Amino acid sequence: MIERIYILESVDLVAFYGVNNAHMQLIKTLFPKLRIVARGNVMKIIGEEEELDVFIKKIREIEEYCEEYNALTEDVILDIAKGRNVAVSKQDNLIIHGVSGRAIVARTENQQRLVKSFEENDLVFTIGPAGSGKTFVAIALAVRALKNKQVRKIILSRPAVEAGEKLGFLPGEMKDKLDPYLQPLYDALQEMIPAVKLKEYMENNVIQIAPLAYMRGRTLNDAVIILDEAQNTTSQQIKMFLTRLGLCAKMIVTGDITQIDLPPTATSGLVQAMQVLRDVPGIGKVAFTKNDIVRHKLVQRIVEAYENTKTEAGSSGNREKNKIISENEKGISKDGI
């Protein structure tokens, strides 16, 4: 009799063990000659060497399946243990599987274009109306890169700008003050990464959520970096952020240039950056339209109603903004600037 230790490295333990350890009990019945003790992510197995080799091989396959799909069933465990092919339904335009095995897919043509542009470019500008999936797809691409070990960390940032109202001083420590601004990023992550794993990632700084002001001086290597709500950056802020890009890193900048919350005298850094960098190679651009809106059907009607009542702007900055909006309305959506 010999003893071996197997460590579950990147799987969601709740999904792996099952409700009331039902999956673990099934695994034990499938290998009656082994003594299996599981504590947290550590499994201790005692038995004959030949039986142990088979068990380790099968448990690794089960772990890989659970990691890939964020879900596990007794049928899957039985199929793997018995050496049968696991039936998996293929999803078109799949990005990753989220919590409870939910398939997260690129649902519209422009979302699919964003996926392709991310694969081909190290920097992608993504603009479009509310509800078109800009941030959600961008974070899904970052999580996929992390799961596939293409990067070592994800860094998410957005400017701390109120939407038309002053909140005053917020109570608590720095994290408590910033969380209200960063909550949309937390919401997206919670749909893609199990809660326990997400907490571990954030405690170990594998996933970092930080305000834009904290980016200065950093060099971001081996990471996917996402700047959300970039329409609310100033020219100096977005230049500072874009120049943080390090080696083996990718960056996605998202924004809705119809919802700029800066003072009227300020120019949106996103609008300016897209004009300044339009001829720079290696930079992608994807422009979403109201047809890409995947929220409640009323959101698309609301966006259309506001577009129909917009007035001509007089400043040069607003003329550039209206030019980009006009391109969106015509359905222009390019991978290159």
Q: What is the pLDDT of residues 36-74, one digit of tens each?
A: 999 988 999 999 999 999 999 999 999 999 988 888 999
pLDDT at 101: 83
pLDDT tens by residue, 121-157: 999 999 998 888 899 999 999 999 999 999 999 999 8
- CA-nearest of 48, 50, 76, 44 to 61 is 76
Task: Judge whether residue 20 has pLDDT over 70.
Answer: yes
Task: Judge whether residue 228 has pLDDT over 60.
Answer: yes
pLDDT at 317: 54
Q: Which residues contact 100 (CB under 8 A, 6 or more apart)?
A: 15, 70, 71
What DSSP letter does each residue of 180-203 carry, written as one string?
HHHHHHHHHHHHHS-HHHHHHHHH
| Residue corresponding to tokens 């900048």 | 253
Task: Judge whether residue 320 has pLDDT over 80.
Answer: no
- CA-nearest of 198, 202, 269, 196 to 232 is 269
Task: Judge whether residue 19 has pLDDT over 70.
Answer: yes
Task: Judge whether residue 276 has pLDDT over 80.
Answer: yes
pLDDT at 267: 86
Question: How does residue 259 score in pLDDT terms, banded at 50, 70 and 90?
Answer: confident
Burial track 25-51 (b if 16+ CB lie within 10 A, e otherwise): eebeeebeebebebeeeebebebeeee
Could you tell me what percent of the chain has a pLDDT over 70? 85
Taking each helix axis from N to C terminus, what angle separates 22-30 and 74-81, rounded to the nearest 10 degrees? 20
Question: How does residue 313 score in pLDDT terms, banded at 50, 70 and 90?
Answer: very low
- In this structure, of 91-95, 169-173, 202-206, 220-224, the range with the lowest mean pLDDT score is 169-173
Mean pLDDT on 163-191: 68
Mean pLDDT on 282-302: 85
pLDDT at 51: 92
Cβ–Cβ under 8 Å, residues 211 and 157: yes
Q: What is the mean pLDDT of the chain?
A: 84
Written as six digits, the tokens of 201 are 């990632």
Question: How does residue 264 score in pLDDT terms, banded at 50, 70 and 90?
Answer: confident
Q: What is the DSSP letter of 119?
A: H
Taking each helix axis from N to C terminus, what angle separates 316-329 and 269-276, rounded to the nearest 10 degrees? 70
